[in-house]
Amino acid sequence: MKKPVFVNNEVYHIYNRGVEERKIFLDNKDYFRFIHNLFEFNDKAPAMNIYYKLPQIQSYEVQLRKIRKTEREPRKLLVEIISFCLMPNHYHIFIRQKVDNGIVRFMQKLGTGYTNYFNKKYKRVGGLLRWSFWKIIDGAVFLIISARKIFLQ
């Protein structure tokens, strides 16, 4: 597959589905974790691995961020998330790149982070997601039409 080149300030529709059409969200906690990851991984700074955090994080519950001195700096967003839709076996995200290589870095963090969470929680190994598909959204009318089709699924 050709490596995409994303342009800053353009809007893209990105979607991905589970390998073998498998469900990637098995319960409400999985949806909440993914939504949490949308926030947590949208930063130039590396995200902390939850499995190496403080010992009180022994569950898969979404935890509020612990504020440390190093986290008091303003976040440097990679992308602007316009909207998203999570389905049992796939997801859609409308996204605008804010910095060079922002979408690639964000999607890499999101895919790896969620797959690691899912595999650890459900005691499995291997890939969870196929690969990200994307297309550029050209104009506000096309954005509205595309979003409407997705949210009516």
> CATH 3.30.70.1290: does it fit domain 11-151?
yes
Q: Return the exposure string of 111-142: e unless at least 16 CB atoms fall within 10 Å of the residue's CB, then b.
A: bebbbebbeeeeeeeeebbeebebeebeeeee
Domain ranges within the chain, ordered by starting residue: 11-151
Grouped pLDDT means (10 residues each) for the chain, 153 residues: 80 91 96 94 81 51 55 83 94 94 95 94 94 71 63 61
What pLDDT sits at residue 118? 95
pLDDT at 141: 56
Predicted local distance difference test score (pLDDT) of residue 102: 96
CA–CA gap between residue 121 and residue 58 (Å, rounded) = 11
Which residue bears the tokens 């959204």?
Answer: 137
In whole angstroms, give the CA distance from residue 38 to residue 65. 14
The predicted pLDDT at position 131 comes to 76
Report the pLDDT value the prediction gives residue 41, as an integer from 0 to 100.
94
What DSSP line would sit under 71-100, residue for residue? GGSPP--SEEEEEEEEETTEEEEEEEE-ST
Token pair of 88 as six digits:
């049992």
The model's pTM is 0.80
Tally Cβ neighbours within 10 Å of residue 62. Answer: 15
